[in-house]
Amino acid sequence: MPNPMPTITLNNGVQLPQLGFGVFQVPDDETTAAVSAALGAGYRSIDTAAVYGNERGTGRAIAESGIARDELFVTTKLWNSEQGDPTPAAFDASLEKLGLDYVDLYLIHWPSPARDLYLKTWEAFEKLYADGRVRAIGVSNFLPEHLQRIIDLGGTVPAVNQIELHPALQQRTITEFAGAHGIAIEAWSPLAQGAVLSEPAITTIAARVGRTAAQVVLRWHLQQGRIVIPKSVTPSRIAENFDVLDFTLTDADLAGIDALERDGRTGPHPAEFNR
Ligand code: NDP
């Protein structure tokens, strides 16, 4: 019997599989094969976004899989230019491309502070949630100051904040803030797009436990309670990244990886990203 996938219970009671599959930078016509490989390997949570241009390819793999809809957890994201008035139509377009009648998690992709529309967008998200078209609503790339403004609206607290997080950028301030407010942290670029995989602190542990560096990094995330969504288009890596449920890192291993923090951001800074 394979080990069961651990889940994180979101602040509205919905369960999100802790390990999912991301499809950033996968062309639409290659996405069906990648997502099919992931579903075949056992992943049940898929993370896409309108701006990735591959919701159709993702939806095709879901339809072809024959897996019951309620066994899957599908996340997509609202692009920045669709914040505010265009949000409901953008959501409808995502659903149509995915070929679904609801999504499990809908995220505001970036705060895009110069637009100053994320509060209005959040109210549109609350309406989608109230109408039963999404099982949970959340945000991505939000700093504590952005989260605080949403909380101050007095309505729904975001279920998730999906942020860049890996050994070189551990985001302790945001994680602490989110923890204090019941917001789950989901790590994007959990492998730092491969940049941390040759770190001696990681490869030494990998050699000792007989696993790959990627598996050690994913295990480090899981043991700290984070949701992770590694991406790969390579079937062997897709399977490797999923095969992390049957070993445990020691506290010393975790601390050794924690020591790799160096503010090593690979993506844009949310305070400045207004595209
Ligand atoms: P990841 O940290 O998941 O790294 C992906 C890269 O690592 C790819 O180049 C992949 O290569 C390689 N890789 C994957 N597995 C292994 C392995 N076992 N060994 C060696 N190399 C490996 O980066 P992403 O940026 O893709 O982040 C993951 C997901 O997070 C995205 O797909 C997306 O869903 C989400 N995301 C969200 C963002 C947001 O703003 N909300 C921003 C960025 C990402 P290959 O594919 O060639 O096998």
Summarize pLDDT for 234-250 with one digit per residue, the tens: 999 999 999 999 999 99
Q: Whose CA is nearest to atom 45 of ligand 1?
A: 232
Distance CA 237, CA 242 (A): 8
274 phi, psi to nearest 5 deg: -125, 20
Q: Domain residues for 147? A: 7-194+224-235
Top mutation candidate among 16, 232, 233 for ligand 1, by most atoms within 8 Å of CB: 232
**Cβ of residue 231 lying under 6 Å from some atom of ligand 1:** yes
Q: Give domain status of residue 60, yes or no.
A: yes
Q: Give domain status of residue 274, yes or no.
A: no
Active site residues: 52
Report the domain count for the chain: 1
Q: Give domain status of residue 208, yes or no.
A: no
Burial of 25 (0-12, 13-18, 19+ CB in 10 A): exposed
- Separation of 140 CA from ligand 1 center, angstroms? 16
Average pLDDT over residues 33-48: 98
Q: Give domain status of residue 138, yes or no.
A: yes
Distance CA 142, CA 228 (A): 17
User: Would the pLDDT of 2 be above 80?
Assistant: no
Ligand 1 atom at shortest distance from the alpha carbon of 187: 30
Percent of the chain with pLDDT over 90: 98
- Separation of 99 CA from ligand 1 center, angstroms? 24
Residue-level pLDDT at 170: 98
Q: Whose CA is nearest to atom 21 of ligand 1?
A: 194
Ligand 1 atom at shortest distance from the alpha carbon of 238: 15
User: Would the pLDDT of 80 be above 90?
Assistant: yes
Q: Give domain status of residue 58, yes or no.
A: yes
User: Would the pLDDT of 3 be above 90?
Assistant: no
- Separation of 242 CA from ligand 1 center, angstroms? 13
Q: Give domain status of residue 262, yes or no.
A: no
- Residue 123 neighbours by CB distance under 10 Å: 15
**Cβ of residue 270 lying under 6 Å from some atom of ligand 1:** no
CATH number where 80 lies: 3.20.20.100
Residue-level pLDDT at 1: 64
Average pLDDT over residues 58-75: 98
Average pLDDT over residues 1-19: 94
- Separation of 191 CA from ligand 1 center, angstroms? 7
- Separation of 190 CA from ligand 1 center, angstroms? 7
Q: Whose CA is nearest to atom 13 of ligand 1?
A: 232
Q: Give domain status of residue 80, yes or no.
A: yes
Q: Could you report the per-residue pLDDT of 169-227, keeping only the tens digit for each? A: 999 999 999 999 999 999 999 999 999 999 999 999 999 999 999 999 999 999 999 99
In which region does residue 184 sit, left (phi positive, over 0), alpha (psi from -120 to 50) or beta (all else)? Answer: beta
Q: Could you report the per-residue pLDDT of 103-131, keeping only the tens digit for each? A: 999 999 999 999 999 999 999 999 999 99
**Cβ of residue 192 lying under 6 Å from some atom of ligand 1:** yes
**Cβ of residue 24 lying under 6 Å from some atom of ligand 1:** yes
Q: Rounded mean pLDDT of the chain?
A: 98
Q: Whose CA is nearest to atom 3 of ligand 1?
A: 230
User: Would the pLDDT of 91 be above 90?
Assistant: yes
CA 217 to chain centroid, in Å, comes to: 16
- Separation of 66 CA from ligand 1 center, angstroms? 26
**CB within 8 A of 189, min separation 6: which ones?**
164, 165, 166, 266, 267
Q: Give domain status of residue 68, yes or no.
A: yes
Residue-level pLDDT at 123: 98
pTM for this prediction: 0.98
Q: What are the structure tokens assigned to 34, written together? A: 């990648």
**Cβ of residue 195 lying under 6 Å from some atom of ligand 1:** no
